[in-house]
Structures are given as structure tokens and as C-alpha cells.
Amino acid sequence: MLDTAKLDKIKNNFFQGSLDYTKNQPDFFLPHKYKPISPSIVHGFLDDFKTSLGSDKNILIYIHLPFCFSECVFCNSFPHKTDKQQQELYFNCIIKEIELFTQAGLFDGKNIKSIYFGGGTPTSFSNDKLKAIINKIKESMDVIKDASITTEAHPLTLKNSDRIKGLFEIGINRVSIGCQTFDPEILKICRRSHSKEGIKKIITTLNDLGMLSNIDMMAGLPGQTIESMKLDMEILEEIKPAAVEYIRHEIVNPIAIEIYKKNPKLLVKDEELFEMVYTMQNWMQEQGYEQNGYFTKKKFWEYRYHWLKELPIIAFGSRARSYSKSMSYDKHEDIPIYTKLIQKNIPPIGRYTVLSKSDQMYRMLFLRLQIKKGLSLTKFKERFNEKGEDVFQGLLKNLEEFECIQTVDNHIRLTEYGAFFVEDVCDFIMDYALKLESKELKRNPHSLGSTSSRLDIK
Ligand code: SF4
């Protein structure tokens, strides 16, 4: 039964409404700490990064393919327009980049546990190109048997079942499809055109091939209502994807901002957004889907689970971010710079940060709270020689007052409603950590983030 007193605490104290929400998860990100790196010292930097991988045996690989033919209003990844020539050049660079990082010894003695193709729309590249990248990874590194290999996909690229069979044949075993909604009116506003029947056909083909499927959905889209969301959920129950990821619409796209300026009524009011988030989380729980705040080992999204457990990520492609437990670096975002450096045999790293002890502590808490089990205080003490309860005292006191976290079996974990509003808990932690450094600092995620000032219609 709905506990309105508990929900009100969240709503009144730190729920981020439509305009103020910033997509922070999954990772803890302090942009002001990244420093530019000169190409002349990049090889030395990679030696340090290799050392920072330490005894971690398993690694995750991310391949960033930032091209897309669509212009979705909800997009927050700002891909480049598909272009045959540019994509050919970019593909060659990815292959070369894998060679450069392999030569730097980053994968010596390591196992690749999971591979993820993200974008953009990775399936705007042909199956042959994706196959060549997978083969290059397999030639260069030890990929474990049955490694989870996922690609994100726009539904229109999977209209033909042979395309999906091709993905299966090249070793991809999980496909994540961006739908966001099935409501035709909202799809029109968002510049999308997929249908329930089309998605159903894709899921059936994936199921028949024994591949895992995920459907990305959104709450808070322009003009969306609770009724429309509930109809979406009925469709999902009929289609039965293996996994569903429901996230909140983050208003960062200039096209979206223009739409809301012209028609402010399309903006979902905070009160309704709160109900939407509650409704979708409750539904996810009833359906048994794994969700932010509930990730577990036994379910389907291995890549995200291991990320939250702090397995190192080595990312290829422009802008992509890599992590060890104590260091992080970004590639150059500008594709001409990225390609030029690769052509000169220079790993195209643009900026980096060395995580301080405090950064590492906050990152560990931030990531583990998105796992059902939470943060082990024993493991925290072993790693940092400090008690988590003491380090996070002020922060935990706030979150406990809001009944979002609890300590169970020596683990700090989210309460049921804390997990429902995990995105707000993460925003709260990020704000708290930034304020410890300076009152001037503001949340600013990878995708630049939404701020009310960008959308002057409060
Ligand atoms: S399909 Fe995905 S990457 Fe392409 S514009 Fe839409 S949201 Fe962005």
C-alpha cells in the first residue's frame, strides 16, 4: 500500500522536477577535476593507467559509435548525422585505436567480461563493420566464453529479421532497443515513428534466436500523461522483453527546449512527474524487472552490474570515458582531432583525472547504492581503512531522515522508496559532494545537463 508520508518526504525534500533533473547515473562525475592532457605525455599516462588497473582481472569494453539518422527530441547524446564516408573513417580509427591500446599492454593478463556498443545508433553501422570490431577485440584480448555482448539499436534498423539474425551470427547476444513510448501522438512530437507491431516482431525474433532484449522507456516526455504511460506498460506486458529500462526524460536537447518554449503545456508538471516515476518503478517491481537501485548478479544486464561493482571500463571511440578504480580519462570529443591523433599513432586521450581518496569513497557509495545489496561497510573499511558510517555521516543523516537509505547486515542500501527515486538520491549525493568542494560548483553531467535557466518557462 502507498505510504504517502514517506513519499511526501522525498517529494518535498529532494525530488528533482522536470526542469531540474539531470541524468547523473550510473557514474559519479566531477567534471571540474578533469585536466587536459598533451599528446606528448599520453604514452606515459597510459603506463600509469595500466598500473591503476592493479589486480583487477576482469575488464569491460565500451565501443562508442556516435552516428545516427534520427533527430529524437529526447536525445541527450548529440550524435553526428550518419554519413558513409565519415563512418568509414571512424570505423578504421576504432580498429586502429584497439591496436594502439593493445600495444600499450592494457589488456595483458586481463579477461574481457562484457562488451557494449553504444551511441548514437550503433546499428547505423553494418553487421560487417560490427563483426570486424568484435573480431579485432577477440584477436587482441582474452574475451571470456559466453561474454555478454550488447548493442543499442534504433527499431527501424531492425525491421528486417535477417539483420537481427546477422547480429546473432556475429556474436551479439543482447540488443537494447530505444522505444521510450508507444503513444503515437507523443512519438510524433518526439520525431519518432515506430509501432507496437514492429517492436513486437523484433522482440519475437530476438526471443526465437535466444538473444536477450531490452526496451528503453521514458517518463516525463512532452505531453505524456499517466494514462498514456499505463497504456505503454500494457503493451510491454504483451510484448514481454527480457528487460525494460525506464528512465526520466532529461531536457537538454535544443529541439526539446524550443518545443517547450512554443508550447509550455507539453511540459509535464512536477506533481505528475512524481506520480509517473512512482508508477513506473512500482510497475517494474511488480513485473520483476531489474531497475536502477535493484541491479543484481543473477539478472540480465551484466555490463551495468559489473560497472556498478567498479570493474574497470576501457572505452573506444571519440568522447568515450574509461575508468579504473582510481583514474579516469575521456577521449577527444571532436572527431577530426580524434582521427588525426589516431592516424599519428597517438592514443586520442583528451583529458583525465586521478581520483582522490575522497572521490573514490564517494564513487564507491554512488555506484553501490544502485545495486540491491548496497555498500558493504566491511569492504569499505578494508579498502580505505576508514568507517563508511563516519566518512558519510552528514550525507547519510540527511538520506536517513528522508527514509531513503537504511543499514542492513552491515550494508548501506536504499529503502524501497529510495530505490524508486534512485535518480534523485544520486543527484542529491552529487550535489552534496560538489558542495563539500565549493559552493559555486553545480551538477554538470556528461551530456551537459538540464538547468531551468536553459528553459525559461517556470
Ligand atoms: S535514435 Fe537514439 S541516438 Fe539517435 S537521435 Fe534518437 S535518441 Fe539520439
122 lines ligand 1 (CB under 6 A): no
Q: How far is the CA of 46 from the centre of ligand 1 (A)?
A: 32
**Domain match, 74 and 38 both:** yes
Residue 340 is assigned to a structural domain of this protein: no
**Domain match, 259 and 113 both:** yes
180 lines ligand 1 (CB under 6 A): no
What range does the domain containing 78 cover?
A: 34-308
Q: Percent of the chain at pLDDT above 90? A: 83
Mean pLDDT to the nearest integer, 197-214: 96
**Domain match, 151 and 216 both:** yes
Q: Which atom of ligand 1 is nearest to the CA of 180?
A: 7
pLDDT computed for residue 453 by the predictor: 42
- How do beta strands 327-331 and 321-323 pair? antiparallel
The per-residue pLDDT for range 41-91, each reduced to its tens digit, is 999 999 999 999 988 899 999 999 999 999 999 998 889 999 999 999 999
What average pLDDT does the structure give for the chain?
Answer: 93
pLDDT computed for residue 74 by the predictor: 92
- 3-class DSSP state of 256: helix
Taking alpha carbons only, the member of 213, 221, 271 closest to residue 244 is 213
- Burial grade of 403 (CB within 10 A; 0-12, 13-18, 19 or more): middle
The per-residue pLDDT for range 262-293, each reduced to its tens digit, is 999 999 999 999 999 999 999 999 999 988 88
The per-residue pLDDT for range 213-267, each reduced to its tens digit, is 999 999 999 999 999 999 999 999 999 999 999 999 988 888 898 999 999 999 9
**Domain match, 195 and 240 both:** yes
Whose grid coordinates read 564507491?
A: 364
Residue 335 is assigned to a structural domain of this protein: no
Q: How far apart are CA 73 and CA 186, in angstroms?
A: 10
Q: How far apart are CA 191 and CA 452, in angstroms?
A: 23
66 lines ligand 1 (CB under 6 A): no
Of 65, 117, 154, best ligand 1 pocket probe by most atoms within 8 Å of the beta carbon: 154
**Domain match, 360 and 291 both:** no
110 has pLDDT over 70: yes
79 lines ligand 1 (CB under 6 A): yes
- Burial grade of 139 (CB within 10 A; 0-12, 13-18, 19 or more): exposed
**Domain match, 2 and 70 both:** no
Q: How far is the CA of 66 from the centre of ligand 1 (A)?
A: 9
Distant-in-sequence, close-in-space partners of 376: CB < 8 Å, separation ≥ 6:
368, 410, 411
Taking alpha carbons only, the member of 46, 30, 51 closest to residue 361 is 30
Q: How far is the CA of 164 from the centre of ligand 1 (A)?
A: 19
pLDDT computed for residue 444 by the predictor: 66
- Number of structural domains (the chain) is 2
**Rounded to whole angstroms, what are the CA distances from 338 to 85, 96, 201, 287, 351?**
16, 12, 38, 43, 12
For residues 52 and 325, is the Cβ–Cβ distance under 8 A? yes
**Rounded to whole angstroms, what are the CA distances from 184 to 144, 193, 262, 417?**
42, 8, 20, 31
Of 23, 72, 81, 158, best ligand 1 pocket probe by most atoms within 8 Å of the beta carbon: 72
70 lines ligand 1 (CB under 6 A): yes
**Domain match, 182 and 256 both:** yes
Q: How far is the CA of 192 from the centre of ligand 1 (A)?
A: 9
**Domain match, 87 and 232 both:** yes
**Domain match, 13 and 43 both:** no
313 has pLDDT over 90: yes
pLDDT computed for residue 458 by the predictor: 45
The per-residue pLDDT for range 134-172, each reduced to its tens digit, is 999 999 999 999 999 999 999 999 999 999 999 999 999
Residue 455 is assigned to a structural domain of this protein: no
- How do beta strands 349-354 and 327-331 pair? antiparallel
Mean pLDDT to the nearest integer, 446-457: 44
pLDDT computed for residue 55 by the predictor: 86
The per-residue pLDDT for range 346-379, each reduced to its tens digit, is 999 999 999 999 999 999 999 999 999 999 999 9
What pTM, to 2 d.p., does this model score? 0.95
Q: Which atom of ligand 1 is nearest to the CA of 192?
A: 6
Q: Which atom of ligand 1 is nearest to the CA of 120?
A: 3
CATH number at residue 224: 3.80.30.20
**Domain match, 248 and 387 both:** no
**Domain match, 405 and 267 both:** no
121 lines ligand 1 (CB under 6 A): yes
**Domain match, 269 and 143 both:** yes
Q: How far apart are CA 74 and CA 432, in angstroms?
A: 28
